[in-house]
């Protein structure tokens, strides 16, 4: 009789443990499922908010992109993934060192042809003196949009002006009948149109002298850039640029990044006229050197 009672008690304990374990699993599963549901709901809500956002209207009824914007990334150092490394002058220590950064290139890597990739490497090795940024040349497109300086969009129905703080560069996007490039220039010939609330800018007539970044990424005068600007909320533009150059790249490729609106009180572009900063680099070697014999006779 006692043995039978013991067996019944043991069975009861086992059943109790099984029920407890199953309840724990059920609770854990319920919590996990609930967490996933909350995450999914948050993601769908954010997506819905973005989809529902309607930019304020300009007088012509199109999305108003006017404002001062700036990229907050390391694309001007290198469009691709990169580790931190020292700058070009050891005397400056950590000042001027390159920070780490993530690629803004769709797919991660720029599709160079072999010979062009070797030229990019040579550019990087000589970046201290050969980077057009160091010489205060016009930044070109798309680089002008992600240099570490703000720029302003001034919007009218007939044209949209981009004004850049760096080197006082600017360009006018023609919103009328497309115009062909009369000659090659640093900032190109810019023809724009609207696709819904997205401003699309077709840039041709680029001279191929600008670099894309301080890493030596480059293109030739066959460069063709198609930009897309979309206002995603009151404080951001999503910027995309599709880049084609059959003499340098194996296929077209794309960069994508947010541009942040400057909202501080009295936000404005300031002057960065850098020509005088580059004079020694450009013309120092042409300075008249003192005659050694004349100096010794004095």
Structure confidence by residue, pLDDT tens digits, 122-142: 999 999 999 999 999 999 999
Which of 89-93's residues contact partners 24+ apart within 8 Å by CB, and which partners? 89/128
> Which residues, other chains included, contact 295 with Cβ-Cβ below 8 Å and sequence gap of 6+?
none
CB 201 within 8 A of CB 173: yes
Q: CA–CA separation, 203 vs 208, rounded Å?
A: 12
Query: What pLDDT does residue 40 have?
Result: 57
Q: Domain locations in the chain?
A: 1-52, 67-281
User: What residues in the chain have per-residue pLDDT under 50?
Assistant: 1-5, 8-13, 15-16, 19-21, 23-24, 26-31, 298
Closest CA to 245 of 220, 262, 218: 220
Query: Under DSSP, is residue 148 helix (H, G, I), strand (E, B) or coil?
Result: coil
pTM metric for this prediction:
0.80
Question: What phi and psi values does residue 224 have, to the nearest 5 degrees?
Answer: -130, 125
Query: What pLDDT does residue 131 have?
Result: 97
Query: What pLDDT does residue 3 have?
Result: 47
Query: What pLDDT does residue 292 have?
Result: 53
Query: What pLDDT does residue 31 have?
Result: 41
Strand partners, 162: 153, 171
> Which residues, other chains included, contact 145 with Cβ-Cβ below 8 Å and sequence gap of 6+?
71, 151, 227, 239, 241, 259
CB 63 within 8 A of CB 57: yes
Judged on CB neighbours under 10 Å (0-12, 13-18, 19+), 245 is buried
């Amino acid at each position: 009789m006692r043995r039978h009672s013991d067996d019944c008690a043991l069975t009861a304990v086992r059943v109790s443990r099984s029920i407890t374990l199953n309840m724990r699993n059920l609770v854990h599963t319920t919590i996990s499922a609930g967490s996933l549901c909350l995450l999914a709901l948050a993601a769908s809500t954010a997506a819905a908010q973005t989809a529902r956002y309607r930019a304020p209207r300009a007088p012509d009824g199109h999305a108003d992109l006017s404002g001062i914007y700036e990229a907050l990334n390391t694309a001007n150092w290198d469009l691709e993934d990169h580790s931190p490394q020292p700058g070009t002058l050891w005397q400056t220590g950590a000042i001027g060192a390159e920070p780490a950064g993530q690629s803004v290139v769709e797919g991660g890597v720029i599709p160079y042809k072999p010979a062009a990739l070797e030229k990019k490497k040579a550019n990087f090795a000589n970046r201290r003196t050969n980077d057009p940024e160091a010489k205060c040349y016009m930044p070109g497109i798309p680089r002008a949009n992600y240099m570490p300086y703000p720029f302003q969009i001034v919007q009218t129905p007939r044209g949209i002006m981009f004004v850049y703080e760096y080197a006082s560069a600017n360009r006018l996007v023609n919103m009328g009948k497309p115009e062909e490039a009369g000659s090659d220039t640093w900032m190109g010939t810019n023809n724009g149109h609207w696709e819904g609330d997205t401003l699309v800018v077709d840039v041709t007539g680029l001279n191929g002298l600008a670099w894309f970044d301080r890493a030596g990424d480059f293109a030739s005068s066959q460069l063709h850039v198609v930009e897309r600007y979309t206002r995603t909320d009151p404080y951001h533009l999503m910027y995309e640029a599709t880049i084609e150059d059959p003499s340098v790249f194996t296929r077209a490729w794309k960069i994508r990044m947010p541009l942040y609106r400057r909202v501080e009180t009295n936000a404005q572009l300031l002057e960065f006229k850098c020509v005088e900063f580059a004079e020694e680099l450009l013309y120092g070697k042409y300075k008249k050197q003192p005659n050694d014999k004349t100096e010794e006779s004095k």
